[in-house]
């Protein structure tokens, strides 16, 4: 009975139909307004995810993550595969269950951890944005208990390293290349974060675009050592595209440990890393346009 509840919950919350994920992409119009969904013609008042066909008709801009989605993210793919394996190991086949039904149920179950991690990331993002713009910490609620538990060291880091938040959760558009995206934070840095940024990026003049992520801390290699918080090339590719659309600001990743309290990692990307990542993004956008048969820059 408990297994059925988990299965039903995952289908309800994860947008699954017959165990298959329904992919959605983010789109913006040329004024930077989100058009992730459109009204259904057959059901006025109800909405569905915007398709590539509708994007062409409306001359929409794909999001940065939409474009980068054409690349295989091996680390993420491997992690998802492990969740499938764990679900299969902990959930045996029900009596009379067909191969297809069993596989569908396992795929659904494997997303429970994924959704939990995504929910924590979304809630932590919201808490950071609210604090930077209003100075108010997150308030306890049934759906953000982990955020409350992990918040104090995050708040300390923000107070020690960010002098002021210029903008939070704002959309940038790049009409020449043809893309858009939502930036986490543009801020004026101070403290150790400003010092690190100055060391790796000679273009730094006080302003920086920051991307906040929650990520698991790796197991320590030796007893008594701290586990590493990793950054990836995909992080700077995303940031470089945002920066190119927004005054070429220097960029940095802020990674909050999701399985170890008190761990916050600031990683400033060098100008060379940023330039190389932007080149890769531009190539991805060209390839994306060919695959989708849609060039937003020429629409």
Same domain, 56 and 137: no
Q: What local confidence, expressed as pLDDT, does residue 24 receive?
A: 65
pLDDT at 3 over 70: no
Same domain, 43 and 134: no
Q: What local confidence, expressed as pLDDT, does residue 136 receive?
A: 95
Q: Which of 79, 98, 117 is a domain's end point?
A: 117
Q: Could you list the residue range(s) of the whole structural domain that residue 232 is in?
A: 119-298
Residues ≥6 apart with Cβ < 8 Å to 57: none
Average pLDDT over residues 181-186: 97
Looking at the 3D structure of the chain, how many domains does it have?
A: 2
pLDDT tens digits, one per residue of 192-245: 999 999 999 887 888 999 999 999 999 888 888 889 999 999 999 999 999 999
pLDDT tens digits, one per residue of 60-87: 999 999 999 999 878 778 878 888 898 8
pLDDT at 49 over 60: yes
Q: Which of 117, 141, 162 is a domain's end point?
A: 117
Same domain, 58 and 143: no
Classify residue 215 as exposed, middle or buried by CB count within 10 Å of its CB (0-12, 13-18, 19+): buried
Of 162, 140, 157, nearest in space to 149 by CA: 140
Nearest-angstrom CA–CA distance, 149 and 165: 24
pLDDT tens digits, one per residue of 110-128: 877 667 778 889 999 999 9
Same domain, 143 and 98: no
Residues ≥6 apart with Cβ < 8 Å to 220: 226, 227
Same domain, 86 and 60: yes
Backbone angles phi, psi at 257, to 5 degrees: -60, 130
């Amino acid at each position: 009975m408990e297994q059925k509840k988990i299965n039903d919950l995952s289908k309800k919350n994860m947008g699954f139909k017959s165990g298959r994920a329904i992919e959605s992409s983010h789109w913006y119009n040329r004024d930077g307004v989100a058009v992730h969904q459109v009204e259904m013609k057959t059901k006025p008042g109800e909405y569905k995810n915007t398709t590539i066909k509708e994007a062409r008709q409306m001359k929409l801009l794909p999001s940065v993550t939409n474009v980068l989605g054409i690349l295989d993210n091996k680390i993420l793919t491997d992690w998802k595969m492990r969740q499938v394996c764990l679900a299969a190991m902990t959930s045996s086949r029900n009596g009379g269950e067909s191969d297809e039904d069993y596989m569908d149920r396992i795929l659904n179950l494997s997303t429970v951890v994924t959704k939990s991690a995504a929910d924590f990331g979304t809630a932590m993002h919201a808490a950071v944005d609210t604090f930077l713009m209003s100075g108010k910490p997150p308030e306890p609620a049934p759906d953000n208990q982990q955020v409350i538990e992990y918040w104090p060291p995050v708040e300390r880091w923000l107070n020690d390293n960010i002098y002021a938040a210029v903008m939070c959760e704002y959309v940038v558009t790049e009409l020449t290349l043809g893309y858009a995206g939502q930036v986490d934070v543009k801020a004026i840095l101070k403290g150790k974060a400003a010092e690190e940024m100055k060391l790796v990026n000679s273009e730094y003049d006080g302003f920086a675009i920051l991307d906040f992520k929650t990520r698991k801390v790796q197991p320590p290699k030796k007893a008594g050592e701290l586990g590493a918080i990793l950054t990836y090339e995909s992080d700077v590719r995303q940031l470089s595209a945002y920066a190119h659309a927004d005054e070429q600001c220097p960029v940095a990743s802020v990674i909050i440990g999701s399985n170890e309290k008190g761990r916050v990692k600031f990683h400033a990307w060098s100008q060379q890393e940023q330039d190389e990542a932007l080149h890769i993004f531009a190539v991805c956008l060209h390839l994306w346009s060919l695959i989708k048969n849609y060039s937003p820059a020429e629409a």
